[in-house]
Amino acid sequence: MPRAIISPSVLASDFGQLTAECKRMIKGGAEWLHMDVMDGHFVPNITMGAPILASVSKGVPGIFMDCHMMVAQPERWVEDIAKAGGSLYCFHLEAAKDPLSIIESIHKNGMKAGVAISPDTPSTDITHEVAQAADMLLVMTVYPGRGGQKFLDRCVSKVAELRERYPEKDIEVDGGVGPSTIHVCADAGSNVIVAGTAIFAAPDPEGVIESLKETVTNALLKANEDKKPPSSVVLEHPHT
Ligand SMILES: O=C(CO)[C@@H](O)[C@H](O)COP(=O)(O)O
């Protein structure tokens, strides 16, 4: 059964105190940190690249950097991000000419591989081969490019469709996720939750992390329970 993982998006943090902000989130219960890398081509904004990630990994030993690569040439940055301490390299399917070879290169460089889809990309564009090779699938619930946007409900059905196809895979949601939208994401089957504004702008980030995690864990347990045969059937056929 997949487990609940909360990955605060540092895009909503104080970049002047990035290392301290990451430590604050880990202390508050976050397991991963979501690092939004934007190149000004795939999306209009520019955020951070390998040198900043390297400083963070040096300043926060053991950090799991969930790197969301909003870049036009995802194959180009794999080595640099690995050297900078990236733990997971998630690239956009829309930008990839050969997703399978990018996944192979990510694995060769010692990172987990993620494949992201933007709101207008159907989940069926992720082929079975690509989904199987990837460690994580990311369903964007806003258009990539900036934080603080409104959650797009219409993307949730893609999470459910992918969860149906891949019961054990890590499935991440990102964009406008917080206490008011977590239930639909969790019920659809996402287990890795990215939240920026909802966590960093909260007076009690630890409380938000804890409640997001609890909601997701409960949904995962319920889905797992629902898969089991009813207990009466088990009792009637103890040897089957
Ligand atoms: O990738 C992105 C935006 O492109 C996200 O990671 C956002 O940074 C999430 O921020 P909130 O919507 O949670 O504020």
Atom of ligand 1 nearest to the CA of 151: 12
Pocket of ligand 1 from Cβ distances under 6 Å = 9, 11-12, 34, 36, 68, 142, 144-149, 174-177, 194-198
Query: Rounded to whole angstroms, how far apart are CA atoms 141 and 156?
Result: 8
Give the amino acid at 224: N
Query: Rounded to whole angstroms, how far apart are CA atoms 32 and 52?
Result: 17
Closest by CA to 53, choosing from 10, 114, 112, 1, is 10
pLDDT at residue number 29: 98
Sign, CA torsion 177/178/180/184: positive
Residue ID of nearest Cα to ligand 1 atom 1: 144
Of these residues, 39, 66, 170, 174, which one is catalytic? Answer: 174
Encoding tokens for residue 99? 């997703």
Encoding tokens for residue 145? 């490019």
Interacting residues of 21 by C-beta distance below 8 A, sequence separation 6+: 10, 13, 14, 200
- Does 181 belong to an annotated binding site? no
Whether residue 66 contacts residue 7, with contact meaning beta carbons closer than 8 Å, is answered with yes
In b/e form, how buried is each residue of 195-216, taking b as 16+ CB within 10 angstroms?
A: bbbbbbebeebeebbeebbebb
Tally the domains of the chain: 1
The rounded Å distance from CA 35 to ligand 1 centre is 10
- Does 36 belong to an annotated binding site? yes
pLDDT at residue number 236: 54
Of these residues, 14, 36, 39, 187, which one is catalytic? Answer: 36
Report ipTM for this prediction: 0.98
Return the percent helix, strand and coil in the chain, to nearest 5. 45, 20, 35
The rounded Å distance from CA 79 to ligand 1 centre is 24
Read off the pTM: 0.94
The rounded Å distance from CA 121 to ligand 1 centre is 18
Closest by CA to 105, choosing from 92, 127, 89, is 89
Q: Tell me whether residue 153 is one of the annotated catalytic residues.
A: no
| Full domain range(s) for residue 87 | 5-236
Atom of ligand 1 nearest to the CA of 149: 12
| Residue-level pLDDT, tens digit, the chain, 240 residues | 999 999 999 999 999 999 999 999 999 999 999 999 999 999 999 999 999 999 999 999 999 999 999 999 999 999 999 999 999 999 999 999 999 999 999 999 999 999 999 999 999 999 999 999 999 999 999 999 999 999 999 999 999 999 999 999 999 999 999 999 999 999 999 999 999 999 999 999 999 999 999 999 999 999 999 987 766 555 555 554
CATH number, domain with residue 30? 3.20.20.70
